[in-house]
């Protein structure tokens, strides 16, 4: 009996091992099937991304189109459907305007670039080929027509979009959302295929670059898009958000030398003012041309116009930086400004010096805006764009003489009357001292 029990136990162990092997084989087969179903990665890298959840949760509206969908990520959204008729009418106008005037030619161009177009998006686009091509053509023609009508006012006559200021404003801001982009190369190819002349004399920049530059500069004056693009390289523009980034961010050759930050603490505007720093606003300068002279104590800051759409623009630029990973300059700018305007009092000082032009209801809104922008951002101490600036400002503020001199000037020489009073008190004190000494010597 004992031998039989041992034999049964042995068979039970064997069966258990077989079951485990079958389970392992089943899991292995299932996982291999999942791996085989993955679409092979292309040599072409992505440039259009869906905003990460951690950023989207901070301000959903800042990343979501309100009136028009561009590209596949928001294609077919119910609330955006009313704009589809306008888009088709713009395609009709584009075809009439183009010298080629052949829809088949444009479909052929898009079809030939379909794989490249799909690979521009960081996620798989599950639209059928014919639907995808149609969407690209309609959206591209819409963007081109918006750009043309913005530049040539005579084209706006009887237009159902440009005759409604609120509508064109909403469309303009929807066009700068990271999730609402078309690859730039397809806009260029379709525009060139249409042979539309815009009368540009700039041989170094493509007509499409010139159109987009005029559009962004005129429509978003708060974005500090420079008039002169000579120092900018547009050899590879991914989309409109990337264009804005190229315009705003200094080129590699123009960036300052960086050092490792000894501290992440940056003085606020109030602290700098108390240390005797003099603020000077500069116009027509890049946002990044913030300079501090440690000898004269002058801090130059470019004029900054803050409107309700400022947050939307910076949020999408930040999201593109984080997803694309080519630069962190916008991140560093936002972090620096947040440190400088820590309180509404800091904002008030910059308004007083003409540096901030505030179109929000109050100064609290400006400081809150930048406090919100820096959430889910970080800085690399060894690669912070403004590291030398921060170090120089901290060194200046740590010098006691600068603070004493500033206190004397701000508290006792704010105006001629307080200055005269202080001088009179000093003279009176001196005379009293002399009289006392004279009295002692006389005795």
| Residue 359 counted as domain residue | yes
| Residue 423 counted as domain residue | yes
| Residue 27 counted as domain residue | no
CA dist 181 and 321 (Å) reads 15
pLDDT for res 41: 55
The answer on 338 and 318 residing in a single domain is: yes
Tokens of 269: 């505007």
Of residues 82, 75, 72, the one with CA closest to residue 48 = 72
The answer on 315 and 285 residing in a single domain is: yes
pLDDT in tens, 135-166: 999 999 999 999 999 999 888 888 999 999 88
- Paired strand residues for 299: 279, 292
- Encode the chain (443 residues) as per-residue pLDDT tens digits: 455 555 666 666 666 677 777 777 888 778 887 777 765 655 557 999 999 999 999 999 999 999 999 999 999 999 999 999 999 999 999 999 887 668 999 999 999 999 999 999 999 999 999 999 999 999 999 999 999 999 998 888 889 999 998 899 999 999 999 999 999 999 999 998 876 666 655 556 788 999 998 888 877 766 667 766 767 788 889 999 999 999 898 877 667 766 666 666 899 999 999 999 999 998 877 889 999 998 999 999 999 999 999 999 999 999 999 999 888 999 999 999 999 999 999 999 999 999 999 999 999 999 999 999 999 998 887 889 999 999 999 999 887 645 545 455 554 545 555 555 556 556 666 666 676 666 666 65
The answer on 236 and 97 residing in a single domain is: yes
Of 220, 248, 276, the one marking the end of a domain is 248
The answer on 330 and 238 residing in a single domain is: no
The answer on 244 and 261 residing in a single domain is: no
The answer on 63 and 197 residing in a single domain is: yes
pLDDT for res 233: 80
The answer on 385 and 333 residing in a single domain is: yes
Range of the domain at 189: 53-248
| Residue 86 counted as domain residue | yes
Total count of domains within the chain: 3
Residue with tokens 């050899």: 235
Contact 377, 371 (CB under 8 A): no
| Residue 268 counted as domain residue | yes
| Residue 87 counted as domain residue | yes
| Residue 408 counted as domain residue | no
pLDDT for res 404: 46
The answer on 233 and 140 residing in a single domain is: yes
| Residue 6 counted as domain residue | no
SS (H, E, C) 342-386: CCHHHHHHHHHCCCEEECCCCHHHHHHHHHHHCCCCCCCHHHCCC
pLDDT for res 353: 96
CA dist 391 and 101 (Å) reads 60
The answer on 428 and 379 residing in a single domain is: no
Contact 177, 64 (CB under 8 A): yes
CA dist 274 and 268 (Å) reads 10
The answer on 316 and 428 residing in a single domain is: no
The answer on 229 and 328 residing in a single domain is: no
Of 248, 275, 294, the one marking the end of a domain is 248
The answer on 79 and 212 residing in a single domain is: yes
């Amino acid at each position: 009996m004992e031998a039989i029990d041992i034999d049964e136990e042995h068979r039970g162990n064997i069966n258990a091992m077989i079951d485990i092997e079958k389970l392992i084989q089943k899991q292995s087969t299932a996982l291999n099937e999942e791996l085989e179903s993955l679409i092979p990665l292309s040599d072409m890298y992505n440039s259009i991304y869906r905003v990460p959840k951690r950023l989207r949760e901070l301000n959903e509206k800042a990343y979501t189109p309100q009136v028009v969908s561009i590209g596949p990520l928001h294609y077919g959204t119910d609330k955006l459907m009313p704009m589809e008729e306008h888009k088709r009418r713009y395609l009709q106008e584009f075809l009439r305007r183009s010298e080629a005037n052949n829809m088949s030619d444009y479909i052929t161009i898009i079809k030939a670039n379909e794989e490249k177009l799909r690979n521009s998006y960081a996620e798989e686009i599950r639209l059928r080929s014919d639907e995808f091509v149609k969407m690209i053509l309609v959206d591209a023609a819409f963007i081109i027509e918006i750009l043309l009508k913005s530049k040539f006012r005579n084209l706006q006559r009887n237009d159902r979009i440009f005759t409604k200021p609120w509508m064109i404003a909403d469309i303009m801001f929807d066009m700068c959302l990271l999730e609402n982009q078309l690859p730039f190369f397809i806009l260029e190819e379709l525009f060139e295929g249409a042979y539309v002349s815009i009368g540009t004399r700039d041989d170094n920049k493509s007509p499409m670059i010139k159109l987009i530059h005029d559009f962004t500069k005129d429509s978003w004056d708060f974005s500090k898009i420079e008039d002169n693009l000579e120092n900018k390289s547009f050899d590879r523009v991914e989309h409109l958000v990337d264009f804005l980034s190229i315009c705003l961010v200094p080129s590699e050759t123009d960036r300052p030398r960086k050092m490792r930050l000894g501290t992440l603490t940056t003085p606020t505007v109030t602290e700098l003012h108390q240390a005797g720093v003099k603020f000077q606003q500069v116009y027509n300068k890049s946002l990044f041309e913030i300079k501090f002279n440690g000898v004269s104590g002058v801090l130059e800051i470019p004029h900054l116009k803050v409107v309700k759409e400022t947050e939307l623009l910076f949020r999408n630029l930040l999201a593109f930086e984080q997803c694309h990973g080519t630069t962190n300059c916008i991140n560093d700018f936002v972090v620096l400004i947040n440190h400088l305007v820590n309180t509404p009092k800091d904002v008030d000082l910059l308004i007083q010096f003409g540096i901030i032009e505030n179109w929000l209801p109050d100064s609290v809104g400006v400081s809150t805006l930048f406090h919100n922008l820096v959430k889910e951002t970080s800085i690399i101490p060894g690669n912070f764009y403004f590291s030398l600036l921060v170090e120089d400002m901290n060194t200046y503020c740590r010098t006691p003489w600068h603070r004493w001199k500033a206190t004397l000037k701000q508290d006792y020489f704010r105006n001629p009357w307080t200055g005269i009073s202080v001088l009179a008190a000093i003279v009176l004190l001196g005379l009293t001292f002399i009289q006392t000494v004279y009295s002692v010597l006389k005795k």
